[in-house]
Homo-oligomer: A and B are copies of this chain.
């Protein structure tokens, strides 16, 4: 056991306990706890002396003990998919921002786009007694999510489903993709290629449907030869362009299902001596921070990761407070930069 000495010698290396505060203030531990949590009314007098003692000793409650004792830990678990993702990284930042002023702290774990791993993450988070869990997209089944929500508040992004104790925050990928495609059409493009995202992601298929819908409503034919498979990573964008070029099909614009692939596509085009937007127009999706500094700056669909993170965290806070969360998903909008132009030929 660690030495227990050093009662009132101010910060013995951060081990000032609630009990010490109680002693210093001449009250019981329960009273201190009550003041800390606002659990019950206490006399002004005692409150004063307790507050003093807290300040004097530099007491800071121990969240671990708090969690053990059955109370809240003031922490919410966040399952991201990879800790170094440009998109989810921004979302995490939004979560941090919203949680902090409320006194909560996030606990980040990575699921690596793997349902089994995500399950383990949930276990880890639960064992750490988090008060709630935010799941950024992921591969967990709606079923599983619903079940988790029975014992713990859950907020999930990238889906729409309803369940008690669960709030889903979806983004209109379909509409976003339609906007992007329509933008190209309005510029005069008639042959628009599409680089698809990982088919395992629901948002990827939604984006593809948006692309098709825009084509249809413009009376343009959908040519399967003009859609190349991709995996949401830069390299797959590059290979997609190569595949597209190999078909020798004519196209004057490319819509990539995300910015990362658009980057890869830009490089592929460059390698073949094709200029953006002079020869080929290019649109992405997500508006990653980096896209504003791409060459040329990339036109894309704004997918406000930071706002989404913030909203998710706010919904969680509401859930925790017991108030009904009123979340409004942000609407997609196109951000026009310099990667698109009317078709040359």
Q: Which residues of A line the B interface, CB within 8 A? A: 1-2, 13-14, 60-65, 67-68, 70, 73, 82-86, 89-90, 92-93, 96, 105, 107-110, 123-124, 126-129, 150-151, 234, 238, 263-264, 266-267, 270, 290, 292-297
Q: Pick the residue among B2, B13, B89, B270 that contacts A296 (CB under 8 A).
A: B270
Q: Give 11 new A-B contacts, CB below 8 A, not counting A84-B89, A238-B293, A267-B297.
A: A13-B151, A14-B126, A14-B151, A63-B128, A84-B93, A234-B290, A263-B290, A264-B293, A267-B293, A267-B295, A294-B295
Minimum CB distance partner of A82 in chain B: B93
Question: How many copies are assembled?
Answer: 2
Taking CB atoms, residues of chain B closer than 8 Å to A2 are 70
Q: Are A270 and B295 in contact (CB under 8 A)?
A: yes
- Distance in Å: Cβ of A149 to nearest Cβ of chain B: 12
Taking CB atoms, residues of chain B closer than 8 Å to A108 are 83, 108
Q: Are B62 and A127 in contact (CB under 8 A)?
A: yes
- Distance in Å: Cβ of A195 to nearest Cβ of chain B: 14
Minimum CB distance partner of A124 in chain B: B105
| Assembly CA distance A70 to B1 (angstroms) | 7
Minimum CB distance partner of A2 in chain B: B70
| Assembly CA distance A62 to B238 (angstroms) | 46
| Assembly CA distance A109 to B292 (angstroms) | 27
Minimum CB distance partner of A105 in chain B: B124
- Distance in Å: Cβ of A112 to nearest Cβ of chain B: 9
Q: Are A64 and B264 in contact (CB under 8 A)?
A: no
Taking CB atoms, residues of chain B closer than 8 Å to A110 are 96
Taking CB atoms, residues of chain B closer than 8 Å to A90 are 84
